[in-house]
Amino acid sequence: MKTIPNPDLSVTEDLKPRWNSPDHRRHGFHNLYRLSRYAVSLRAANVLCLEKCIDRHIGDRDDVRRLTNTSMFSAMAVVRGDKVLFEKYAPDFGPDQPHSIQSITKTHLNLVYGRLLEQGLVDLEKTVGDYLPEIGTGYRDATLQAVLNMDVENDYSENYDDPLTSSYLHEVPMGWRLPPEGQTPVSEHEFLASITSDDVTNKLPHSQYKSANTDVLGWVAERVSGRSLRSFFADITDAAGLEGCFHITTDREARPWASGGGCLTARDLARYGLLFTRGGAGVDGSQVGSAEFIERTRTHPGKPMPAPREFVNYSNQMNTDGRWVGHGGYGGQYMLCDLESGVVGVFFSVLENRDCYDRDYSCGIIKMLAAIAKEA
């Protein structure tokens, strides 16, 4: 019988899968939850009710008007407690539509490790090799704390200018692109174990962003707890009181892609962000994070991020400026949780340049959300 390679996942002339090529990227980010080869979806038993209580001053801000009126914009929401203070959507996007949150997914590991620490299941000064003897040299001698803080040196690269960077090749085991012809897909664990390093010590004055770090942490969490990462995500979904599905990419063996596979609506990402303002306490009475660990994340930050984000540090799988915690996502996403005001701001957009990356644009989103959260 005649077949063709899946066109959405086939690598194009620019060495990206079609869904992530500039002409198709907006459709890809808006539909990644149904385009990836492997995924699971989770729903909460009880939904956190949100009530509109619009603060018109947010919409009147020049930065809000500018950033929500570009062709890149998809959605923005600002919430506090159970109140929606601001909400806006692009004409081709809507409140019930999931959007790829990319690396914002990493923040789940902050919640997971907070609980593991409280349960005495991990020691952050021990090395990855202490927990995963089968891991390769890329992580064997790195401490868990260094991995949490993106403070590790190895041959995994995340240079979006390079079409052959490791983070793009990571898409093969996770089903975001097809493997080269004749190559059998490996599992995520096989991919992670193949990463090497002569010396895992980061000698740079700033953090080194590597998505593989998050997935190694997820592997350790499964090993020490005896639980699947999927079960952790299910607990977090219930605790956040999500209304729609939390879709997350997996590998062929159904392991969630903790470093970037999540897809959520704007309101549900805000519901999730509220977990951090509540110190990891769930709407269902559960505790899925650690208030002490979240506080330590912002008060004992790891290392500054490279310029132009040097005003933000990377700490325990989150960004922080000492007041808020949050994280960005490839292509133009951000979630910011102000631990003093209790405000959560989320922003979805899709960059359509060649590299799907713009540091100055991302900084503008961060500064806008931080100002809103502080002043609201």
9 inside domain: no
122 inside domain: yes
84 inside domain: yes
User: How many domains does the chain fold into?
Assistant: 1
Residue 301 has pLDDT above 90, yes or no: no
Q: C-alpha angle with apex 236: 81 to 157, nearest 5 degrees?
A: 110
**What is the rounded CA–CA span in Å between residue 265 and residue 184?**
34
Average pLDDT (50-64) is: 97
233 inside domain: yes
Q: Tell me the per-residue pLDDT of 77-113, one tens digit each, with 9 for 90 and over.
A: 999 999 999 999 999 999 999 999 999 999 999 999 9
Distances (CA, A) of 376 to 44, 193, 324: 29, 46, 14
pLDDT confidence tier of residue 219, bands split at 50, 70 and 90: very high
pLDDT at position 183: 85
| Residue 62 structural domain | 18-27+38-375
**What is the rounded CA–CA span in Å between residue 367 and residue 364?**
5
92 CA to centre of own chain: 23
Helices (H), the chain: 25-35, 56-60, 62-67, 108-118, 128-131, 144-148, 166-169, 188-193, 211-225, 229-240, 266-277, 291-299, 359-375
Specify burial of residue 45 (Cβ count, 10 A radius: 0-12, 13-18, 19+): exposed
Residue 3 has pLDDT above 90, yes or no: yes
What secondary structure letter does DSSP report for 51?
A: E
Percent helix, strand and coil across the chain, each rounded to 5? 35, 20, 50
Average pLDDT (289-305) is: 95
Query: DSSP readout, 230-256?
Result: HHHHHHHHHHHT-SS-EEEEB-TT--B
2 inside domain: no
6 inside domain: no
* Domain at 298, CATH number: 3.40.710.10
Q: pTM score > 0.95 for this model?
A: yes
Q: What order do you get walking across the sheet with 262-264 strand by strand?
A: 39-42, 246-249, 262-264, 99-102
pLDDT confidence tier of residue 162, bands split at 50, 70 and 90: confident
Q: Tell me the per-residue pLDDT of 106-122, one tens digit each, with 9 for 90 and over.
A: 999 999 999 999 999 99
Average pLDDT (327-352) is: 98
33 inside domain: no
**What is the rounded CA–CA span in Å between residue 263 and residue 244?**
10
10 inside domain: no
Residue 182 has pLDDT above 90, yes or no: no
What is residue 90's three-state secondary structure? coil
Average pLDDT (323-335) is: 98
pLDDT at position 376: 85
